[in-house]
Structure 1
Amino acid sequence: MSDITARLERLPFSRFHFKLLVMGGLGFTFEAMDAAIVAFILPVIRVQWELTSFQTGLLASSTYIGFLIGALFAGMLGDRFGRRVVMMWALTIFCSMSLANAFVTDWHTFFLFRSLAGIGMGAEGAIIAPFLAEFVSNRYRGSFTGALAGFFSFGFVLAALIGYFLVPLSDNAWRFALALTAVPVITLLWWRKSLFESPRWLISRGRHEEAEKVVSYIEAQVVRSGVELPPVEQTHVKAIPVNNNGMLKTLKLLWTGPLARTTAMIWCLWLSITFCSYAFFTWIPGLLVQQGMTISKSFSFSILIYLAQIPGYYSAAWFNEKIGRKATIVSYLFLACAAALLLAFATGNNVIVMASILLSFAMNGVNAGQYAYTPEVFPTEVRATGMGAASAFGRIGAIASPMLVGWLYPIFGFGGVFAMTTGMLLMGALAVLLFGVRTQGRTLEDINEQTPEPPVSSDMTLKTDRR
């Protein structure tokens, strides 16, 4: 293990890490709030603009079309040019396009701006977890990244509250709702200017001196807080390659050697949970209305359903360290399967709401495990690309599922929609159960010891201490 990574591993959880958690988490909160508010806007603009069921589903998918593009390119750009710069540009695009969307007057322009805002949101969502995971020790990385993903739940709850209290006030209140989700991002942009680049990424690009300065600054902050740092532990780990590859070569590496199996497993997981999550959370207010509820009653139940995300995320963040990321993901996926199956056969509104709350809890528990697990199973040299590509592949499900629900519901009804959901969740559970690797209590370098090294464009490597 290099001196830099060994020093990162010895760091206790400190004020510096808490600041990282809040900075990254707020980005997830605003992303989720902006994505989720569409579920409360669609029933209103569907009537105003006289949209068909398919057009409504297309608008619901517009954000996720952008997500796919943003996530894929953010990962490749993050491995090539750095995590921090990509994250800042992602927030800027997300904020400006979302604000512009509040002023459109037709569904075609709405679709365009939602897609552009989605590029920023997808890039933010794909880059922040691998970026921040590289700062923290294996002793609390699972809980840290799970808690980071948990900030998504606050965004969904805030969106539900805005949808319930603001959107029904007038025909144009949905415009104020969109603006309200975009404006806070400006403050977050200003705050994130103080973030450092990832030391692990700097090492992978041969910028050892810059990495040294970052780690020394973090250590100085910890020492000033009154914590005495333990001695640096050195272990025998392969030399860290300097990755000078282009973006396409880095992407190709995901399907090279043993890493191909990991990539296939992670892609199945992301497709499964993203397909089901966005089908469910985008359509549930509208589906409740279709079941005979008023819009007001549907929105109030949606708040309860969205609130269930919070204990889902944070219970899974706790289990990430107690039983491991793999076991957490599989357990919550099987629980989600049970809830979706119950919804497929539910008849009364009370059963539908309770099963929906359980499904919300379970699927977001999967998300907490997934956001901790995915950055861990890819080497530093391709970590952002691995996360971004998986997120992008998952967005195919997010794009297809709202449109598919819009098409399937008139034919197969409520039960058919959730029978499909059960099948998709089961696919993800089996992929991780059969092909996932254990990451609990292991350093990022140890997890990836058996993965192939990326071919380098020169014979440069960083020498590590071997004691």
Structure 2
Amino acid sequence: MAAPAPSSPTPFETKIPHRLDRLPWSRFHWLVVVALGVTWVLDGLEVTIVGSLAGAIRDTLKLSETEVGLTASAYLLGAVCGALFFGWLTDRLGRKKLFTITVLVYLIATIATAFAPNVWIFMLCRFFTGAGIGGEYAAVNSTIQELIPARWRGTVDLCVNGTFWFGAAMGAAASIVLLDPAIIDPHLGWRLAFGVGGALSLVILLMRQFLSESPRWLMTHGRPEEAEQIVSDIEARVAAERGPLPPVTGKPIRLVGRTHTTLGEVATTLFRTYPERAWLGLVLMSTQAFAYNAVFFTYALILTRFYGVENQHIGWFMLPFAAGNLAGPLLLGRLFDTVGRRTMITLTYAVAGILMAFTGWAFAAGLLSAWQQTAAWTVIFFFASAAASAAYLTVGESFPLEMRAMGIALFYAIGTGVGGVIGPALFGWLIEGGDRYHIMYGYLLGAALMLAAAATEWRLGFAAEGKSLEDVASPLSLHKEERVGA
């Protein structure tokens, strides 16, 4: 492979964003969605395998409920570290290199998990599995947003993030088989389950070889000739399938290439140029992370401890839960591009928060059976899933191209660190105490956070639907004569 061309300090003009945004939907876009978007399927598979198989893992490795919660926190802590490290590299070295490296990290770590002999090795493997997934979020989210036409960006982003729950359904279905003593020893079954993720990641690795580097990343890093060639190739593929392309509209943008963006520039952009967007991203990411991870990572423990559900039957309860979460972004996603981001994000966070508070009270009062509890979560997370996916969309759109991966990584890391790592450990401790009312307080905390996020979105939300990424946030490499205020 030829060495990258050095960054050019000479200004140049390009219409690459307009050319990409005016393309009709094609097989190329499906390749982007499938090859990159399958990351969320992997993440859903991972957390559901551990959630559904928590009882079997606990029995094999002799874990307490608190240690089960800590293993979930180890995975999320790894995701935080991986997002920050690999996100930083993604903006420096390019999207394609990193979405190849991160899936390799995941592949190795998830297979190693299957051979963990004790809780400490298991937690270490979960940490590195999370690191691979965290890096994927930064590299993949930024690439998808940069390649999908503006008029479909919100819909695609929500649907892709929602496929987490297709992976969750896969994990739940697999657990039904792998925990059935008539089919396989449950102590061996949970170990085999991790091989499913490893096999899937190998297929992903092969598919990604057919994707090129992001033209938007190339153009901001002083490699306009490479970017132009890639866009021309994409246009030729789309035209061969869909016929003559629409004309390119809009003025060219004038850029000055750069090799990288310093952490100082990132900080200045976040806290001086876009402080309201930074606060909004932090609130949306951390609140959904707490609500999701607190409930989902420990739901198997709720079912076994308070409803007497046997380990091998947990998957049946996870399937409708996953179905509701998958349906939310798929059915509501288009509204984020038509009704608008601000209205839909506010609505989905608020409805999820109100319903979560009511369900927490009903659980504490003993009014719900196991299936009724599951039905309630299915409805709640129909809305919460769309809200959570929109949080990732928001932080991806909020900031300039040159720091997009780092921005996604930073807010994913902070949100997950604050909401995701604390949530499972807190709920594991509350469940171990055995008091329904103490657990209710945890649910009420999650509900209050979701309602606070809804209010924050209504106050600080901005319109990005149908707009080019460069119009939502001006590139840092934009020539100084063209730079305008945020």
Q: TM-score range by the shorter chain?
A: over 0.9
- Would the aligned equivalents of 2:341 and 2:461 in 1 still touch at CA under 8 Å? no
CA apart distance, 1:10: 1.6
Q: 1:136 aligns with which of 148, 152, 156?
A: 148
The CA distance in 1 between the partners of 2:17 and 2:414, in whole Å, is 30
Q: 2:334 aligns with which of 300, 312, 318?
A: 318
CA apart distance, 1:320: 1.4
Show the counterpart of 2:169. Answer: 157
Moved more, 11-20 or 27-36: 27-36
The CA distance in 1 between the partners of 2:54 and 2:66, in whole Å, is 12
- Would the aligned equivalents of 2:398 and 2:473 in 1 still touch at CA under 8 Å? yes
- Would the aligned equivalents of 1:62 and 1:114 in 2 still touch at CA under 8 Å? yes
- Would the aligned equivalents of 1:315 and 1:365 in 2 still touch at CA under 8 Å? no
Per-residue Cα deviation, 1:391-420 (whole angstroms, up to 9, x for no partner): 111221211110011123325433222112
The CA distance in 2 between the partners of 1:154 and 1:102, in whole Å, is 22
Q: Please state if 1:101 is matched with 2:116.
A: no
- Would the aligned equivalents of 1:25 and 1:150 in 2 still touch at CA under 8 Å? no
Gaps of 5+ in 1: none
CA apart distance, 1:236: 7.2
The CA distance in 2 between the partners of 1:331 and 1:163, in whole Å, is 34
**TM-score (structure 2 length as normaliser):** 0.89
Show the counterpart of 1:9. Answer: 21
- Would the aligned equivalents of 1:254 and 1:382 in 2 still touch at CA under 8 Å? no
CA apart distance, 1:122: 0.7
Q: Please state if 1:276 is matched with 2:291.
A: yes
- Would the aligned equivalents of 1:311 and 1:361 in 2 still touch at CA under 8 Å? yes
Q: 1:228 aligns with which of 244, 263, 271?
A: 244
- Would the aligned equivalents of 1:99 and 1:183 in 2 still touch at CA under 8 Å? no
Number of equivalent positions = 456
CA apart distance, 1:235: 3.0
Per-residue Cα deviation, 1:412-433 (whole angstroms, up to 9, x for no partner): 4332221121122122222222
- Would the aligned equivalents of 1:95 and 1:185 in 2 still touch at CA under 8 Å? yes
Q: CA RMSD in A?
A: 2.0
The CA distance in 2 between the partners of 1:266 and 1:281, in whole Å, is 22
Q: 2:449 aligns with which of 413, 424, 444?
A: 424
Q: Please state if 1:59 is matched with 2:59.
A: no
The CA distance in 2 between the partners of 1:79 and 1:249, in whole Å, is 14
Q: Please state if 1:211 is matched with 2:232.
A: no
Show the counterpart of 1:400. Answer: 422
The CA distance in 1 between the partners of 2:37 and 2:260, in whole Å, is 31
The CA distance in 1 between the partners of 2:345 and 2:452, in whole Å, is 13
The CA distance in 2 between the partners of 1:233 and 1:463, in whole Å, is 21
Q: Please state if 1:112 is matched with 2:124.
A: yes
Letter in 1 for 2:294: A
CA separation of 1:44 and 1:446: change in aligned 2, threshold 3 A = same
Letter in 2 for 1:382: M
Q: Please state if 1:370 is matched with 2:391.
A: yes
Show the counterpart of 2:56. Answer: 44
CA apart distance, 1:250: 4.4
The CA distance in 2 between the partners of 1:430 and 1:44, in whole Å, is 41
- Would the aligned equivalents of 2:280 and 2:460 in 1 still touch at CA under 8 Å? yes
Q: 2:83 aligns with which of 50, 67, 71?
A: 71
Show the counterpart of 1:253. Answer: 268
- Would the aligned equivalents of 1:156 and 1:306 in 2 still touch at CA under 8 Å? yes
The CA distance in 1 between the partners of 2:396 and 2:113, in whole Å, is 32
Q: Please state if 1:87 is matched with 2:99.
A: yes
Q: Please state if 1:383 is matched with 2:404.
A: yes
CA apart distance, 1:316: 2.6
The CA distance in 2 between the partners of 1:271 and 1:291, in whole Å, is 28
The CA distance in 2 between the partners of 1:357 and 1:329, in whole Å, is 19
Letter in 2 for 1:381: E
CA apart distance, 1:444: 1.0
Q: Please state if 1:302 is matched with 2:326.
A: no
Q: 1:179 aligns with which of 195, 213, 217?
A: 195
Letter in 2 for 1:289: T
The CA distance in 2 between the partners of 1:257 and 1:2, in whole Å, is 28
Per-residue Cα deviation, 1:270-303 (whole angstroms, up to 9, x for no partner): 0010111111111112112222232244431221
The CA distance in 2 between the partners of 1:440 and 1:248, in whole Å, is 29
Show the counterpart of 2:368. Answer: 348
- Would the aligned equivalents of 1:98 and 1:178 in 2 still touch at CA under 8 Å? yes
CA apart distance, 1:228: 0.9
- Would the aligned equivalents of 1:97 and 1:117 in 2 still touch at CA under 8 Å? yes
- Would the aligned equivalents of 2:281 and 2:394 in 1 still touch at CA under 8 Å? no
**TM-score (structure 1 length as normaliser):** 0.93
Gaps of 5+ in 2: 1-12
Q: Please state if 1:197 is matched with 2:213.
A: yes
